[in-house]
Structure 1
Amino acid sequence: MILVTLGTQDKAFPRLLEAIEKQLENGTITDEVIVQAGCTAFTSKKMKLFDLIPMEQFDQLLSQCDLLITHGGVGTIMAGLRLGKTIIAAPRLAQYHEHHNDHQTEIVSSFEKQGYLLALHDFDRLDEVLKQAETFVCKPLVSNTSNMIALLEDWIEKHA
């Protein structure tokens, strides 16, 4: 099962769902797709969509998924990494009115460079990134305070 999360942002993110729908229609994606769509209004006969779901249900879906496709929010990325999930992260962009700025691009690129996830910057390449995800092994997340602080300090140093 593929879990798609668009977060709780008050701005829509239909580009990602349109790209996934295209891959469902052409047969690249054959797995069940469950979407936490937030405020993104989208209709699909091929995906099961929820606006927002209780955290317990979200955690259950996250633990059961084989692939997590998410926006570039740190919370969802970290939750997936803690469970060792293969993650494709697609940053929301200000130019499409998906966010106020492009900080998610920097976040996703930073996690990708460190081997934690696959980044999807060009939605026309989703089929290629899905193919990569089949064999991608993410770097294990060592979750402790000092490592997290070092990760954040490194990111701040490179982007400040």
Structure 2
Amino acid sequence: MIFGTVGTHDQSFNRLLAGLDELADDYDEIVAQVGHSTYRPEHIQWFDFVSESKINEYYQNASVVVGHAGAGTILTALSYRKPLVLMPRRKQYDEHLDNHQLELTEALRDRDDVFVVANVDDLKGAIDKALAHTPTTSESAGELATYLSANIDQMVD
């Protein structure tokens, strides 16, 4: 199962959801958390919000997590050792107040379990790479959390 998530931010991330919806025929199962987005997928399973225990089940059962580049999404996926496809929210599309998610993805580019895409046209290729991924990154989610905590202010500035 591919699990897509846009987090809890109150702006839509319709771009990512539409991209996942277009890929429905390419994969056995895609489930997406759509949050506050206005786009409602027609070809994949979706939900707005669920309990923390239920969302953790989705992370745990996913082969790949596809999401925005929110710190919570990143840390949760990596804590379950799931390959992660990230498409950062962009200010220019009114998906966020600033472009800090671009800086977060830039900080993660060297990890072999994180695949960053700029647009929906690159989603399928990144998902396929993530599905074929063999973990080699030894950095734990705890080490990543420490790094992000120490550097997030610099990334956002």
TM-score (norm: length of structure 1): 0.85
Question: Could you tell me whether the CA contact under 8 Å between 1:7 and 1:71 is conserved in 2?
Answer: yes
Taking the aligned partners of 1:75 and 1:154, their CA distance within structure 2 comes to: 15
Task: Tell me the CA shift for residue 154 of structure 1.
Answer: 5.8
Taking the aligned partners of 1:97 and 1:158, their CA distance within structure 2 comes to: 20
Q: How does 1:62-77 map to 2 (within 5 A)?
A: 62-77=59-74
Task: Give ranges in structure 1 of 5+ residues lacking alignment.
Answer: none
Give the total of aligned pairs. Answer: 156
Amino acid at match of 1:141: E
Question: Could you tell me whether the CA contact under 8 Å between 1:81 and 1:140 is conserved in 2?
Answer: no
Instruction: Note if 1:111 corresponds to 2:77.
Output: no
Determine the structure 2 residue equivalent to 1:13.
13
Q: How does 1:24-63 map to 2 (within 5 A)?
A: 24=24, 27=25, 29-63=26-60
Task: Tell me the CA shift for residue 99 of structure 1.
Answer: 0.2
Instruction: Note if 1:22 corresponds to 2:22.
Output: yes
Question: Could you tell me whether the CA contact under 8 Å between 2:21 and 2:42 is conserved in 1?
Answer: no
Taking the aligned partners of 1:92 and 1:4, their CA distance within structure 2 comes to: 14
Determine the structure 2 residue equivalent to 1:133.
130
SS in structure 1 of the partner of residue 109 of structure 2: helix
Q: Which has the larger radius of gyration?
A: 1
Question: Could you tell me whether the CA contact under 8 Å between 2:6 and 2:68 is conserved in 1?
Answer: yes
Amino acid at match of 1:120: V
Q: 1:125 to 1:56 in 2, by over 3 A?
A: same
SS in structure 2 of the partner of residue 4 of structure 1: strand
Taking the aligned partners of 1:41 and 1:144, their CA distance within structure 2 comes to: 34
- Which region of structure 1 is more displaced relative to structure 2, 80-89 or 129-138? 129-138
Instruction: Note if 1:2 corresponds to 2:2.
Output: yes
- Which region of structure 1 is more displaced relative to structure 2, 43-52 or 131-140? 131-140
Task: Tell me the CA shift for residue 117 of structure 1.
Answer: 0.6
Percent identity (aligned): 23
TM-score (norm: length of structure 2): 0.86
Per-residue deviation, residues 26-68 of structure 1 (Å, max 9, x unmatched) = x3x2221111111012233321111111111101111111110
